[in-house]
């Protein structure tokens, strides 16, 4: 499976600021996704990052809060905008080679907002 | 939306014991996946199941895709300390959307 690298691995941010998380894959992949994992919780899908077009967001997540880019088949970014303490979570990117195949995950970005 | 009920939520076992955890759903899934997440890392795929009734092993791990396509279990035999972590089941319907269970926190006492 592809090697997935996320940056930064962790950060501590001030309330009201924004942070952009990068996800780099070492080979072209069809699908890329962004998840949130709140402390002690399971994974929740934020959006599907579509190459060359707007991301597809899940219920409860909006583009203004979580803008996503996917300029090519190996790279995507997620921005967490106007952060509040409730945004403190692990943010994970995943990839999928083909429909109905497993997703593979990066190691996540651990975000704390003060 | 679809939900997966994963149990147990946590397990505390002695090294050498066998472990069993399962997931059930009211919805049918085409693919069942089992992941393990260690602290500070992302989930790592352990086993993928693609057909109802399928039984698949990966070393000391064995998982089955339920015949009704609404459930799956994962067994770990002869547990060792490095088995400690959170285990997640996940189901795929047609396409790409993954639904995750709530996780099972496994603690293995040496």
> What pLDDT score does B1 carry?
57
Across the range B88-97, mean pLDDT stands at 86
Q: Does residue A98 surpass a pLDDT of 90?
A: no
CA distance B10 to chain A (A): 12
DSSP chain B: ---EEEE-SEEEEETT--EEEEEEESS--SEEEEEEE-TTS--EEEEEE-STT-EEEETTEEEEE-TTSSEEEEEE-S--GGG-EEEEEEEE-SSS-EEE---EEEEEE-
**In this structure, what DSSP letter does residue A26 have?**
S
Percent of chain B with pLDDT over 90: 89
Q: Please, are residues A114 and A85 in contact by the beta-carbon 8 Å criterion?
A: yes
B66, B62, B71, B72: which is closest to B18 by C-alpha?
B62
Of A4, A43, A110, the CB nearest to B100: A43
CA distance B43 to chain A (A): 6
Q: Does residue B97 surpass a pLDDT of 80?
A: yes
A109 touches chain B (CB under 8 A): no
Residues B48-85: pLDDT tens digits? 999 999 999 999 999 999 999 999 999 999 999 999 99
The neighbour count for residue B7, using CB atoms within 10 Å, is 14
Chain A hits for B58, Cβ within 8 Å: none
Q: Please, are residues B17 and B104 in contact by the beta-carbon 8 Å criterion?
A: no
């Amino acid at each position: 499976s592809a090697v997935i690298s996320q940056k930064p691995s962790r950060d501590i941010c001030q309330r009201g600021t924004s942070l952009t998380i990068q996800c780099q894959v070492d080979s072209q992949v069809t699908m890329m996704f962004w998840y949130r994992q709140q402390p002690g919780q399971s994974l929740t899908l934020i959006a599907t990052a579509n190459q060359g077009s707007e991301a597809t967001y899940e219920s409860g997540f909006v583009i203004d809060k979580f803008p996503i880019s996917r300029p090519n088949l190996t790279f995507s970014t997620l921005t967490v905008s106007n952060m509040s303490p409730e945004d403190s979570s692990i943010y994970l990117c995943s990839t999928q080679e083909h429909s109905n195949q497993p997703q593979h995950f990066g190691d996540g970005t651990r975000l704390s907002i003060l | 939306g679809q939900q997966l009920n994963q149990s147990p939520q946590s397990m505390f076992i002695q090294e050498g014991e066998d472990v069993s955890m399962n997931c059930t759903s009211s919805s049918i899934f085409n693919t069942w996946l089992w992941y393990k997440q260690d602290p500070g890392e992302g989930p790592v795929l352990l086993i993928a199941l693609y057909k109802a009734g399928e039984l698949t092993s990966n070393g000391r791990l064995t998982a089955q895709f339920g015949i009704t396509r609404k459930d799956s279990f994962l067994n770990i035999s002869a547990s060792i300390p490095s088995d400690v972590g959170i285990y997640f089941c996940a189901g795929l319907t047609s396409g790409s959307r993954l639904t995750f269970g709530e996780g099972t926190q496994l603690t293995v006492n040496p």
